[in-house]
Structure 1
Amino acid sequence: MLLEILNTIDSAVWGPWLLILLLGVGVLFTIRLGLIQITSLPRALKLIFFARNRGDGDIDSFKALCTALAATVGTGNIVGVATAIKAGGPGALLWMWIAAFFGMATKYAEGCLAVRYRQVDANGDISGGPMYYIEQGLGKKWKPLAVLFSIFGVMTACLGSGTYTQANAIMSSIEVTFGVQPIITDAVLTILVAVIILGGLQSIAKAAEKIVPGMAVLYIVSVVALLVVYADRVPDAVALIIHDAFNPTAAVGGFLGATVMTTIRSGIARGIFSNESGLGSAPIVAAAAKTKWPAEQGLISMTGTFIDTIIICTMTGLAVVSSGLWNGDLNGASLTNGAFAQAFPSFGNYLVTICLALFAFTTILGWNYYGERCLVYLFGTKAIKPYRVVYIAIIATAAFLKLEEIWALADIVNGLMAFPNLIALLLLSGTVVRETKAYLNHVKERNRRVRVLKANRIRMLRENERAGQA
């Protein structure tokens, strides 16, 4: 009975109106910022590695991005993509791209506002995110909205996205592939999580900086190898993805989809769920980046959606569609696993399991920090140590608790995080535009000074040459 009620609420929260609102905010920022996800993407990608990291902050921009990616690149990139294709057909992948395209503008705005309105807590650490730009940007009268966001954030971290769903994904996949009992995996997982999160953001960021790039490269290289095996099928797979995105008859086949609306909803919902653009989670860690330009961190944050969906989810989608298994009986992780096992019979399933375990593990770390910052906003720094102990205890109990009600509740509060955040983004869109113009003018002026210096240097060299010849 309770599960039915929660599922009904879940369907209402994640209904078309939330997806339209999330997409609409992305469209608004895309227009107001002049297609920033296209015009400034080269600069954004360059900043990942060459940001100056000057200004207040706890960690450099690259670590902030890795920590954000640690939380967003999770089981959704392997399981979620396969589920979307199973439910809505290959065309769902194109709608994931569309959601990611507009989501990049949203993620930019979130990162920009996070730095603009960040605060310093009682321990001297940076705190930021939607709860702070709601209260600081919109005023004290909006604090109830910030409190709601923080409550939903703590619940999401402790009940689902950060704990049970990820831990169970790791345990079940390792049990199926390697035959290790869940309780053993859970014990090892608990120890690793405890060692890292008890060290705070610096420890989490260092772990993310080492694990995230490696796991992303491992997965991308593995999928590229798979696509080489399926090279003759890839062009047809791409054509099928584009065709099925707009063709109603394509969604009446043997899989679960029935209409183009199913395809659209599956793609957009899973795309947003994967990259979290608009949900308000990523700006919590973006606020900790060492930078004095909010827009600069906004650009770096924007690349998170690009990497998560445009690159990693696309890799999974192409693998699943190229394999031809999407219209069979497999679904979720078993569908992605089947695609790899078909291409590499001797080790394909091991690759998927290792990647899935790494993706889920880093998500546990990232969401721990998100929940902690939300709790600091609600109760202050005194809540940090008890929270970390409780978080570790939750991971330790994951092997014994598989309540569907908890997962349904987690999905609900995850969706509810979006509403306070989206309201703030809409009302503070003018601030984002002003910060963007100020930064771009600064970059333009800096580039002009560099050109003048180069020109003067060249002129002086030529004058010295003439003087020497004379």
Structure 2
Amino acid sequence: MSHWTSSLENVLSLLIQPLEWVMLIAVLGGGFFLFFHSRGVPLLKFKMAFQLLFQKEKNKGISRFQALSAVLAATVGLGNISGVAIAIHMGGPGVLVWMWLTALIGMVIKFYSCTLAVQLRQFENNGEPLGGPMYYMEMGIKKWGKPLAVWFSIAGLFGVLPAFTANQLTQTFINVVQPDTFFLLGAFQWKFIMGFLLSVASSFVIFGGLKSIVRVTSNLVPAMVGLYFLMGIFILFSNSEQVFPTFKLIFTEALNFKTAVTGGFWGLVILGVRRAVFSNESGVGNAPMYHGQSQSTRGTDEGLVAMLGPFFDTVLVCSITGLIVIISGAYLLPNLNGIVLTLEAFRRLFFGIGDQLLLLMVFVLTLSIL
């Protein structure tokens, strides 16, 4: 099994490497184009975005707050908790700077994509809105819109597969609970059981439709993000003397042209962009699907609210994770990676029980994502 898995990883690595440059050009190139086209105006409307987030609406659909919560459920999760740890493990502390810069560009991308999702959408007979990239592609690009919408839908089926999420939760469960001490079944059997239980639990939410999903996530996600944020702030405050040196290390390593990362300096940049996109899903197309079904009648208002997603997700949550992982020194351990690395960092810095609290948060966020 391990030989087969290793072979599959090698094949996928060969396929992905040339596509990383395509992603870099598409995300950063497209993002910079939108930034200069808008003259950075969306980023200057930060205060208005927060005001719109809590503004009451009376139209059909889901609220802006629910839409943003659903998007954050899909982004503020393992991309922030384990994805950042993977990035630091592979590229060092400097990768955080490129994640932050990509997040700013991602905010502009989110603004435009979610604005279009409201301005160019369709409605069911009962008045329920239907929005997303496939709709505004078809309606906004007359000649090539339909083929692009079909291609996006097919690619999206593979892009949103929850295998990574389920695997990381299972790994968290096995490392923290150590179920073999109670019932000696083996790692594979426990992974199978966890996968089955997650499928059953997720089905109750999924069969309830999108409104069921956003109702659950709008309640659970803010609480879990708040708990994670408070834990992170407490840890950083308790280790305040190390925060400034850590930031200095991050910015110094970000411009390290002699980095040992595969591909050198540009390999480091690609790694930061890749992890930022995985973290906040800017340009992936998930966010417009949620925001396209919101109550908003003005696309720009919805775009401003959607723009907050990358800020909460990457600028705040990813930064907390990254700082904790670096301060703990756990990223220097060669045998730790992904969620296991983050668990070790929280265990070291939060009274020895940080990994257990993290398990609870990962479980709730994973259920929301699935």
Normalised to the residue count of structure 2, the TM-score between the two structures is 0.90
Higher-Rg member (1/2): 1
Alignment of 1:62-461 (within 5 A): 62-121=65-124, 124-157=127-160, 160=161, 163-180=162-179, 181-249=190-258, 251-252=259-260, 259-329=264-334, 330-364=336-370
Task: Give, in whole Å, the separation in 1 of the partners of 2:13 and 2:37.
Answer: 37
Secondary structure of 1:346's match? coil
User: How big is the shift at 1:258?
Assistant: 7.3
* Contact preservation (8 Å) 2:120, 2:140: yes
Q: Given the superposition, is the C-alpha separation of residues 59 and 309 from structure 1 closer, same or farther in structure 2, using an over 3 Å criterion?
A: same
Moved more, 325-334 or 120-129: 120-129
Task: Give, in whole Å, the separation in 1 of the partners of 2:295 and 2:15.
Answer: 40
* Contact preservation (8 Å) 1:54, 1:291: no
- The answer as to 2:15 corresponding to 1:9 is yes
Secondary structure of 2:320's match? helix
Give the letter for the 1:79 counterpart: S
* Contact preservation (8 Å) 2:224, 2:364: yes
Give the letter for the 1:96 counterpart: M
User: How big is the shift at 1:96?
Assistant: 0.4
* Contact preservation (8 Å) 1:49, 1:62: yes
- The answer as to 2:31 corresponding to 1:31 is no
Identity %: 34
Match of 1:394 in 2: none
Give the letter for the 2:341 counterpart: L
Task: Give, in whole Å, the separation in 2 of the partners of 1:101 and 1:141.
Answer: 29
Task: Give, in whole Å, the separation in 2 of the partners of 1:322 and 1:59.
Answer: 40
* Contact preservation (8 Å) 1:108, 1:301: yes
Give the letter for the 1:220 counterpart: F
Q: Given the superposition, is the C-alpha separation of residues 304 and 134 from structure 1 closer, same or farther in structure 2, using an over 3 Å criterion?
A: same
Q: Given the superposition, is the C-alpha separation of residues 338 and 2 from structure 1 closer, same or farther in structure 2, using an over 3 Å criterion?
A: closer
* Contact preservation (8 Å) 1:319, 1:339: yes
Match of 2:3 in 1: none
Q: Given the superposition, is the C-alpha separation of residues 322 and 258 from structure 1 closer, same or farther in structure 2, using an over 3 Å criterion?
A: farther
Match of 2:182 in 1: none
User: How big is the shift at 1:121?
Assistant: 3.6
* Contact preservation (8 Å) 1:166, 1:361: no
For residue 44 of structure 1, the aligned residue among 46, 49, 59 is 49
Gaps of 5+ in 1: 365-470
User: How big is the shift at 1:257?
Assistant: 6.1
Question: How many residue pairs get matched?
Answer: 353
Provide the aligned C-alpha RMSD in A. 1.9
Q: Runs (4+) of structure 1 moved beyond 6 Å?
A: none
Moved more, 131-140 or 108-117: 131-140
Normalised to the residue count of structure 1, the TM-score between the two structures is 0.71
> Deviation per CA, 1:257-302, whole angstroms, max 9, x where unpaired?
6732232121111011111111112101110010110000000110
User: How big is the shift at 1:350?
Assistant: 0.7
* Contact preservation (8 Å) 1:107, 1:298: yes
Gaps of 5+ in 2: 1-6, 180-189
User: How big is the shift at 1:152?
Assistant: 1.2
